[in-house]
Structure 1
């Protein structure tokens, strides 16, 4: 009907008004279907006709082919807009209690020309103990009392910071002390105390709405002197071991070096020690990290960090470049998976080559890749950027991957934690990687929607592989954790093929011997195990060290940004090898795995085995834990706070017990009122004189004894209320302490300190 009406409408070529009643009827008919807005035909010819202008809907576009109008649907609008520099209302959202400076922090990407070596300990490193603010001068402090017990609301740009810098406690320009700052994205310095001329104690902020998780650090330093040796000591770290003990060095970024030489983040620091100090946090021991360093320039602006920072704004900048490139945007669709607690967008990328037919698109297998569920593990984001750079490139391998698979990529699962500088938790105060099974969608939206997306994807098509990129704080190299299936003997060792291929493609970075495949009960809520239980056979987390490599030519050197991104390239190469129709490589890897497993069983059992059947459940692996996290962090912070305020309802047993106590208390009050001030130096119960008694007597009731001592009454329970007058009870009162001596069966018993009541 629409095509017929448009064809009829295009036949009017003459510039005249319509007077024919039949033509008026046709125009009303066209207007009813939204194809005519009431103008005269004088404006419309077959060459100048613009039907889109007169349509009531904006979802249709009209194309003309040979003079014939062809309607088509518009492309769907994006579900979000990437923030632009000209739009101040689309920025990063912070909790309202966070005071944020206006400075825009940007760092250049740079790799050192030569790998940076580990620090070699000399044995003469100092281990200073915390001095505290009493013995030092606080030069930087963020008031933690302003922090709410749980997240309430957010605001673009965070809380409004007054003109006076409330975090600086002294005028650093006059006192020549360093000037610290961390109120920017991913910064987390809580306090800095100057305990010496060039010596500073640093306290990190815990993950917001928690009292734990301190490992990541990132802050700014100004007002330094060149050539002077400064000492920094972080005094509230919580992990009992660290890669700093194995030679890892902190990162330094100099803005003057970036401007003058084009140099970015580099490893720096000497006299590095990681050790336990004398402080505790809620009964948990605390540890210190100390190091010395010299700044390269006078009055420079420098940054110190645990690992190469990668903020939420960095991700938005990268995605803005992807969607603005027409070539990459053709096969990469960026959408919003959900909104975080603070309202920041959790982006999901769908990457695949447009299929010629619907059937071809439907038959493609899927791959799911996620990163940054732990905000302090920034190395996961650098691996993710390398993965996206390769997959969105124009190489033949990248084209083959896009033609073979549909990639679902969530590059940052925990944007709120990244923004505020957390190490492990979201704004719910919990570890998201222990809550993939959660039913609390509003408390854990990021992982809830991710699991829901994967669940729908598994129902639509085969998902070949799932991988979550992480960072590891206790082991060097890159390695994987997988899921071992002991129930299906035909699939044994299959989950180890992909990690073994990775070790062959990245021999100087990836360690297969560090890979673990145990499914511990404490890890049941992790993405790796939850996705495996959804039906994804090859489900992994890829862990990259914060330190460096101990393998091959890279032994004893730190990882750079380029090294981390190269792991994303190797991941794509390995995916092609793993899914190659020619399974020769996979068969070789399987044979190698069987030989390796036989060797491990021989070392474990002390004998050779002919068959591996029934031996796959032999415990050959240690724990996969790289953190101090438990099975779960419990409920979200706001639910815990509500539970604390809820009135506790007592059981019937508790109510009866309280009623009996009230009745006993009433009896004692009656006794107090009826007692006469009688002086008796001899106890009527034991018939003995007591030297320490000025006025003393005993009164027995159903289960009470009341004694008067120095104008006070001491109320005590009877040891044997059924035998009160047997003479086996002796009460001796000294000062304000009463002791019960029970001499039956030659046994000495003492009671608790008795309650004292003033005479009424």
Structure 2
């Protein structure tokens, strides 16, 4: 029996693996950080018996509530991911699974590899409406890549989407893949109409270093990028610094920052009602956008979510709050579940890579419906 995580986004520590019925594991912390929750590893064993894998430090992870009613995902081919029986006793996360083949991968959510990220951005640049730009490099020397879709114009709205500030939230890049695929579809009427009215700036992966390292929440320096927007630096958070500089150069009429939430089993958005400049126009834009999403897809809801900030009490180190205040624009954090969408449960795959991608496609319709009101 062999257990390995020496690959892109891999993360696990083997305590002992002498017996298939008692495999003891632990999740490694993000580099220079106490955050941990993301795991991704391969089990290779030709025994067809039940394997009992216990992650013994789950009870001290970043979001312990995320383990309740959670099921891990597994795959034989790294393309099709399915849920496997998983239990949490308050300390140990235990996966019970009898493999049908010699090797099986386990992960916290369907991984989105750096290689697939490269395929996404380089295939997108082949479209006549798309330009691939490099804003600079991360601390590990990887490109901070931006897709510009459409042309600027005096009457054109400027719409930004950023994703995966927290690298373990891989559903965010699956979302972006679906969004980009639809936006570049020349046969899609909503996409064509949008590009007549807006130019898009898209960052599918804000944190490529953390993604490759197998981090949950931080970059190569152990910095949480979504707490850097008020005062980023090239030394600690070049990813935010360079994206923010580009935003200041282009202006922003709308911004969606795409994330995943460990605990809540629903899709929802978090607005910037606590920023100092929040007013009735801002509230109307937010309310209208949520109403549009509710009408478009049953995957979205507006009952469960984060507690709203009190007036003037927003944390301006968060992307959506900083952008909403800086540009006086519609700025939302979009959250998807690691578990399942309890409104439309799927016991086989839960909330998944494919459902995230479809939600991204739906989001384009919502933007189309509100684009005329953004400025």
Length-normalised TM-score, structure 2: 0.91
Say which one has the larger Rg: 1
Unaligned runs of 5+ in 1: 1-177, 277-286, 355-359, 584-760
Deviations 1:278-334 (A, max 9, x none): xxxxxxxxx32112111012xx221111101002221102222223x3xx1x11000
Check 1:221–1:371 CA distance in 2 against 1; reply closer, same or farther (3 A cut).
Answer: same
Q: Once the 2 structures are TM-superposed, how far is the Cα of residue 440 of structure 1 from its aligned partner?
A: 2.2
Q: Distance in 2 between matches of 1:195 and 1:222?
A: 13
* CA shift for structure 1 position 240: 5.6
Deviation at 1:579, TM superposition (A): 2.5
Equivalent residue for 1:362? Answer: 154
Question: Are residue 242 (structure 1) and residue 44 (structure 2) matched?
Answer: no
Match in the other structure for 2:300: 510
> For the Cα contact (< 8 Å) 2:63–2:263, is it kept in 1?
no
Tell me how far 1:524 sits from its aligned partner: 2.6
Given the superposition, is the C-alpha separation of residues 314 and 427 from structure 1 closer, same or farther in structure 2, using an over 3 Å criterion? same
Counterparts in 2 of 1:440 and 1:321: CA distance versus 1, 3 Å: closer
Corresponding position: 1:288 with 2:288: no
* Corresponding residue to 2:104 among 288, 293, 302: 302
Q: Cα distance 1:231–1:425, how it changes in 2: closer, same or farther (>3 A)?
A: same
Matched, 1:264 2:85: no
Residue 573 of structure 1 corresponds to 365
Partner of 1:491: 281
Distance 2:258 2:282 in 1: 24
Output aligned runs, 1:33-48, within 5 Å.
none
DSSP-derived class of the 1:369 partner: strand
1:482 aligns with 2:271: yes
Q: Secondary structure in 2 aligned to 1:496?
A: helix
Structure 2: distance between partners of 1:442 and 1:419: 20
Using the alignment, how far apart are the partners of 2:232 and 2:278 within structure 1? Answer: 30
Deviation at 1:387, TM superposition (A): 0.7
**Contact persistence 1:200–1:232 (CA under 8 A):** yes
Please show how residues 153-168 of structure 1 align to structure 2 within 5 Å: none
> Offset of 1:244 from its aligned partner?
3.7
Q: CA deviation at 1:179?
A: 0.3
Q: CA deviation at 1:398?
A: 1.0
1:273 is the counterpart of 2:87: yes
> After the TM superposition, which residues 61-460 of structure 1 pair with which residues of structure 2 at under 5 Å, given as runs?
178-194=1-17, 196-210=19-33, 212-226=34-48, 228-237=49-58, 238-239=61-62, 241-246=64-69, 248-255=70-77, 264-269=80-85, 272-276=86-90, 287-297=91-101, 300-323=102-125, 325=126, 328=127, 330-352=128-150, 354=151, 361-394=153-186, 395-458=188-251
Distance 2:145 2:63 in 1: 35
Distance in 1, Cα, partners of 2:346 & 2:100: 28
Which residue is 1:29 aligned to?
A: none
Q: Using a 3 Å threshold, how does the CA distance of structure 1 residues 503 and 304 change in structure 2: closer, same or farther?
A: same
CA spacing shift, 1:578–1:522, aligned 2, 3 Å: closer
SS at match of 1:406: strand
Match in the other structure for 1:501: 292
| Alpha-carbon offset, residue 191 of structure 1 | 2.2
Q: Deviations over 1:83-118 (max 9, x none)?
A: xxxxxxxxxxxxxxxxxxxxxxxxxxxxxxxxxxxx
SS in 2 for 1:512: coil
Distance change >3 Å, CA 532–CA 422, structure 1 → 2: same
What residue ranges of structure 2 are gaps of 5+ in the alignment? none
How far did 1:464 drift? 2.5
Q: Distance in 1 between matches of 2:307 and 2:331?
A: 10
- What's the counterpart of residue 318 of structure 2? 526
CA positional deviation for 1:205: 1.2
Q: CA RMSD in A?
A: 2.2
SS of residue matched to 1:219: strand
- Cα offset for 1:549? 1.4
Q: Could you give the per-residue CA deviations for residues 371-424 of structure 1, whole angstroms, max 9, x where no partner exists?
A: 010010000010011110110112111111111101011111111101111111
Q: What's the offset of the Cα at 1:197? A: 4.9
For 2:192, what is the secondary structure of its paired residue? helix
CA distance in structure 1 between the aligned counterparts of 2:305 and 2:17, rounded to whole angstroms? 43
Residues 487, 413 of structure 1: alpha-carbon distance in 2 compared, 3 angstrom cutoff:
closer
Residues 475 and 517 (structure 1), Cα distance of their counterparts in 2 relative to 1, 3 Å cut: closer
- 2: CA distance, partners of 1:198 / 1:381: 35
Q: CA deviation at 1:456?
A: 1.7
- Please tell me whether the aligned partners of residues 179 and 360 of structure 2 are also in contact (alpha carbons under 8 angstroms): yes
Give me the whole-angstrom Cα distance separating, in 1, the residues matched to 2:279 and 2:28.
49
Change (3 A) 1:490 1:470: closer
Say whether the 8 Å CA contact 2:163–2:204 is kept in structure 1.
yes
TM-score by length of 1: 0.46
1:274: how far off? 1.6
With over 3 angstroms needed to count, the CA separation of the structure-2 counterparts of 1:193 and 1:410, relative to structure 1, is same
Q: How many residues align?
A: 366
